[in-house]
Amino acid sequence: MIKNYNEIDVLNNSLVIFDLDETIIRFPYVTSKWWENTKKAYALIDEKTADLRAYSDWLYIIKTYEPSLLDIIEFNNLLERIKESNSSFIIVTARNIQLKDITVIHLQQFGISCDVYYTLDKRITINAIKKNYVYNHIIFIDDNPKYIKQVEEINTEIITYYMKHENLI
């Protein structure tokens, strides 16, 4: 587990794949435990709708509040290291494709321009991406250990970083 971008080793000619929420950007009130705590609270009312209610709350937050970068200095330093190592980056997010417009707005606020893939199954998406990009290394960074594990299970050659960013704790 890493706590900041400066712990990521960018090898020459790498494709760096970032998750978006809680990996690059954050929103007010959403901490590393927010999803878990919100789902638990709703499960006390109705277990069947807990996930949907938490998701609805999250949608309200991302549509109402302005995002911020987790660490603007270290993130920009990482982007510079990516550039210097003849590498590039993309985003693979679990956001629904229906959130594409707001996602583009969020990224534009920080001058981030890259390909963005929307998926609920990151391992399949990353497997497909591997076939379309020619790099010596693929690096995957996500704040959700579930996605890290899924990607590692079928992509053993991918370098993964489970990021629990210090600014979310």
Distance between CA atoms of 152 and 94, rounded to whole angstroms?
17
Q: Which among 97, 147, 93, 96 has a CA at the least distance from the CA of 123?
A: 147
For position 169, what pLDDT does the model report? 62
**Which is the CATH superfamily of the domain at 5-27+68-162?**
HAD superfamily/HAD-like (3.40.50.1000)
* pTM score, whole prediction: 0.94
For position 37, what pLDDT does the model report? 95
> And the tokens for 87?
């590498």
> And the tokens for 84?
């210097």
For position 154, what pLDDT does the model report? 87
Which amino acid makes up residue 28?
P
In 11-99, alpha helices (H): 34-45, 50-64, 72-84
For position 133, what pLDDT does the model report? 85
User: In 10 A of CB 97, how many CB atoms?
Assistant: 11
Return the DSSP state at 5: G
Mean pLDDT by 10 residues, the chain (169 residues): 95 97 94 90 96 96 96 96 98 96 97 96 93 92 95 92 85
Where are the domains positioned within the chain? 5-27+68-162, 34-64
